Structure 1
Amino acid sequence: MTRILLIVGGGIAAYKACELIRALRAAGHEVRCVLTEGGAHFVTAMTLAALSENKVHTTLWDLKDEAEMGHIRLSREADLIVVCPGTADLIARMAAGVADDLATTLLLATDTPVLVAPAMNVRMWLHPATQRNVARLRSDGVRVMDPDDGAMACGEFGPGRLPEVPRILAEINRLNAADHSSLSGRHIIVTAGPTHEPIDPVRYIANRSSGKQGFAIAAALASRGARVSLIAGPVDLPTPARVTRYDVVTAQDMALAVEVALPADAAVMVAAVADWRAADVAPQKLKKGDGAPPPLQLERNVDILATIAHDARRPRLLIGFAAETEQVLEHAQAKRRRKGADWIVANDVSGDVMGGDANTVHLVTAAGVESWEHLPKTLVAERLADRIADAL
């Protein structure tokens, strides 16, 4: 039996929290409820109490409860906290660390795993502010589900519907089954993002890597107890919880940072390192003038993956990434053999993938290929972290 604390947010989808309570009780879980002020406009405390067979908590200012530090007790006694529905406002306050009511205060006071099932208007979900808030929560270790697509109460159509109850229940079961100490005592290096190779003080050679996949992998590994050294190229992403971050710019910077971070039990080389750099960096901005562009002499960058593979301190498990636009598996299998990696994670970047929030990847090992089709990058990270824990 799992003790679940259900926080009911203030959205029209709040009525589905009643269905979720029924499903959780039928599955043998104990449920306690926190009803927000907004949620109380859609469902009553009496309904939630009848379904959960437990007292419903509604305020931070309950004299008896808070004399016993009720918000701390609630946050500590639960095995899992579920926010359903997670409205745009509640997600924003969680991401900002606001603690102005019972729900947000206990969320800030907990070290219990948190799952958010979002529900809001499609434009609210797609708004850059909401996407930033969701990314912040995910990097903090909060599991934020992707909403369902479909028709909404407002009459619009698109992503934003509350995930169906069976999907939420499946995610709860998956989180309950996860071993959050499976990588305890392990040191894992993760590289992420692009590198910038300067041409002159203004221009540089780079690629479109956002760093999102690498940061998600670092967060997933840390959530399983690993000591994670995240070596990040120039990206504007928040540092995941319990992760030590080192910021670098060039491929040479990244290679040095990896060397300093060794030894490690595993290394996950997600960064899209530039293959080439300028042989000579101009001290002043190169002018285009009226004639042909100035010649640019290039030289190969250091191959970080191959270098680690032949290092005396080579990690027990060495994982490379291969971003390909065609013949994805063939190139990945050849790269694994050529570079000396144990695994290669190959992703097809022929579409609008770099910078996006989803990925299609193929895990290429000596034993074969495992394909994960069009998954959120956070879920790709969770699956890879589980495979790493099994291998170590």
Structure 2
Amino acid sequence: MKNWDFTPPPPSDLGDHDVPLEGTHLQGRRIALLITGGIAAMKTPLIARALRREGADVVAFTSSEALRYVTIDTLEWSTIHPVVTRLTSAAEHLSDSAPFDAYLVAPATYNTINKMRYGIADGVITSTLASALGRMEQGKTKIMIVPTMHGSLHNTILTESLKTLDSMGVAIMPPREDYGKHNLPSEREIVVQLCRLISHSPLKGVSILVTGGPTPVPIDNVRRLTNRFTGKLGAIITEELYLRGADVHLIHGEGSYHPPAYLPYQLAKTYDEYLALVLEQLSQKSYPFGIFSAAVADYQPETVLPGKTPSGGVLKTLQLVPTLKVIEEVKQRFPDLSMVTFKYQENVSHEELINIAQERLKRGYSAVIANRGEEIESIGEQIAYLVTQNHPPLQLIGKKVIAQAIADYLERLTS
């Protein structure tokens, strides 16, 4: 623990109830957070704030049992709206005057799931869900439930209810399994799945392959050559596409950074494994788009030394030979794939960088994200340029902006 000099916190533009925006995927969307009577209800204020970080307007509905585990004051502070704890002449369960884009039941208890399946409407939550199901069947809203309960409650009745609700179109988020129980996933995972559920992006359901990270090459059974790139940008691109509902798959080279577990990805431990995984994915599934942000090794040892080379001596020779250019191999084998590739340079001018990117476009690539080391270092944020046919280069500052620009570009191609 470091010593504290007892100074006050630095000032902030955020008010007491405000949350910092992490994205806008729920901007302008009204979300009903339905809270049932399980111990996991104590986490719902954090879920509400996580939803708001994506721009959502959140209203909490609670059963009387839920209020044993979470307070009205906490929920009102978290949502900045009055909590619906009982139904009045305003018919809060119908929400006619201000309809919801989605209903999120978290936690969804055994009791609520089974009542929902049979259409029982005997309280705030179940009556609201009865109306929500009707709206869902009319195509006016979405419903997502997050089951949480002790493992002994997962019986045939529950399984049948889940299957019935699934067949009706209710989205059922898999719980986090731990200690013999169905537990709530993290707040971020819940928000991500809700974003995917209600996305209206043209990329929803579109298959997209993304690559990222370094692709190490072995020297011997222990040592390897790699580069300093982490692959975080590839994961951010994947998450942006995933939030928009794309059927995205990331091939991530092994390094110091691992993507969030909720993203669909495979880990490539070496250059050879990376190449094999890319070709395998493209052969097994039809991908209209590929985004190649991996920092692929340009050289590899001509011969991998056996075992572990003894330490303390001099490694006199390490003959390096060029690796196969993955994007060129992909372009040759899969000519219909629309490819967004990356080009990193150092010791070149801005004009030279753009010319290099434009030359690549002439070889048939759809778009190039070009950047130079000098511009990264100058302001501390990654600066890149989206270079496409018939448009001036678009400057992008920061990894998140780069990811959003790529997703926007693919949306234009899809629309």
| TM-score for both structures, normalised by structure 1 | 0.58
1:199 aligns with 2:219: yes
1:209 aligns with 2:218: no
Q: 1:327 to 1:179 in 2, by over 3 A?
A: farther
Shift of 1:369: 1.4
Residue pairs, 1:166-315, within 5 angstroms: 179-184=200-205, 186-234=206-254, 236-238=258-260, 240=262, 243=264, 245-260=265-280, 261-262=282-283, 264-289=287-312, 292-309=314-331, 311-315=332-336
- Alignment partner for residue 372 of structure 1, among 377, 385, 396? 396
Q: 1:219 to 1:58 in 2, by over 3 A?
A: closer
1:67 aligns with 2:115: yes
Q: Output the CA distance in 1 between the equivalents of 2:75 and 2:287.
A: 51
Q: Output the CA distance in 1 between the equivalents of 2:112 and 2:259.
A: 42
Secondary structure at the aligned position of 2:278 is classed as helix
- Alignment partner for residue 74 of structure 2, among 16, 34, 42? 42
Q: Output the CA distance in 2 between the equivalents of 1:200 and 1:327.
A: 35
Q: 1:182 to 1:100 in 2, by over 3 A?
A: same
Partner of 2:176: none
For the Cα contact (< 8 Å) 1:79–1:112, is it kept in 2?
no
Q: Output the CA distance in 1 between the equivalents of 2:61 and 2:217.
A: 53
* Residue deviations 1:105-137 (CA, integer Å, cap 9, x gap): xxxx97499xxxxxxxxxxxxxxxxxx967766
1:337 aligns with 2:359: yes
Shift of 1:364: 1.6
- Alignment partner for residue 318 of structure 1, among 329, 339, 364? 339
Identity of aligned residues (%): 20
* Residue deviations 1:28-62 (CA, integer Å, cap 9, x gap): x8955458744534366994349x96369999789
Q: Output the CA distance in 2 between the equivalents of 1:279 and 1:233.
A: 21
For these two proteins, the number of residue pairs brought into alignment is 304
Secondary structure at the aligned position of 1:368 is classed as coil
For the Cα contact (< 8 Å) 1:6–1:81, is it kept in 2?
no
Q: Output the CA distance in 2 between the equivalents of 1:219 and 1:318.
A: 18
For the Cα contact (< 8 Å) 1:328–1:346, is it kept in 2?
no
Partner of 2:403: 381
- Alignment partner for residue 4 of structure 1, among 31, 47, 52? 31
For the Cα contact (< 8 Å) 2:289–2:338, is it kept in 1?
yes
- What value does the CA root-mean-square deviation take over the aligned residues? 5.2
Secondary structure at the aligned position of 1:42 is classed as helix
Q: Output the CA distance in 2 between the equivalents of 1:224 and 1:320.
A: 21
Partner of 1:155: none
* Residue deviations 1:286-340 (CA, integer Å, cap 9, x gap): 23435x442211111111122333x152234211123455658543540452473
Q: 1:224 to 1:143 in 2, by over 3 A?
A: closer
Secondary structure at the aligned position of 2:290 is classed as strand
Shift of 1:273: 0.8
Shift of 1:228: 3.3
* Residue deviations 1:7-39 (CA, integer Å, cap 9, x gap): 79979x99x98xx9xx98xxxx89554587445
Shift of 1:64: 8.8
Gaps of 5+ in 2: 1-27, 36-40, 96-104, 118-124, 151-165, 174-184
Secondary structure at the aligned position of 2:393 is classed as strand
Residue pairs, 1:141-180, within 5 angstroms: 141=193, 179-180=200-201
For the Cα contact (< 8 Å) 1:277–1:298, is it kept in 2?
yes
Q: Output the CA distance in 1 between the equivalents of 2:259 and 2:72.
A: 35
Q: 1:41 to 1:351 in 2, by over 3 A?
A: farther
Partner of 1:104: none
* Residue deviations 1:335-374 (CA, integer Å, cap 9, x gap): 4524732211235666999xx9x85432121222122323
Q: Output the CA distance in 2 between the equivalents of 1:7 and 1:350.
A: 50
Q: Output the CA distance in 2 between the equivalents of 1:191 and 1:204.
A: 20
For the Cα contact (< 8 Å) 2:252–2:267, is it kept in 1?
yes
Shift of 1:384: 1.8
Q: Output the CA distance in 2 between the equivalents of 1:63 and 1:229.
A: 36
1:361 aligns with 2:384: yes
Q: Amino acid of the residue matched to residue 223 of structure 2?
A: R
For the Cα contact (< 8 Å) 1:267–1:315, is it kept in 2?
no
Q: Output the CA distance in 2 between the equivalents of 1:64 and 1:202.
A: 54
Secondary structure at the aligned position of 1:319 is classed as strand
- Greater Rg over alpha carbons, structure: 2
Gaps of 5+ in 1: 83-93, 102-108, 114-131, 145-174
Secondary structure at the aligned position of 2:83 is classed as helix
Q: Output the CA distance in 2 between the equivalents of 1:188 and 1:323.
A: 22
Q: Output the CA distance in 1 between the equivalents of 2:297 and 2:249.
A: 21
For the Cα contact (< 8 Å) 1:192–1:271, is it kept in 2?
yes
Shift of 1:100: 5.8
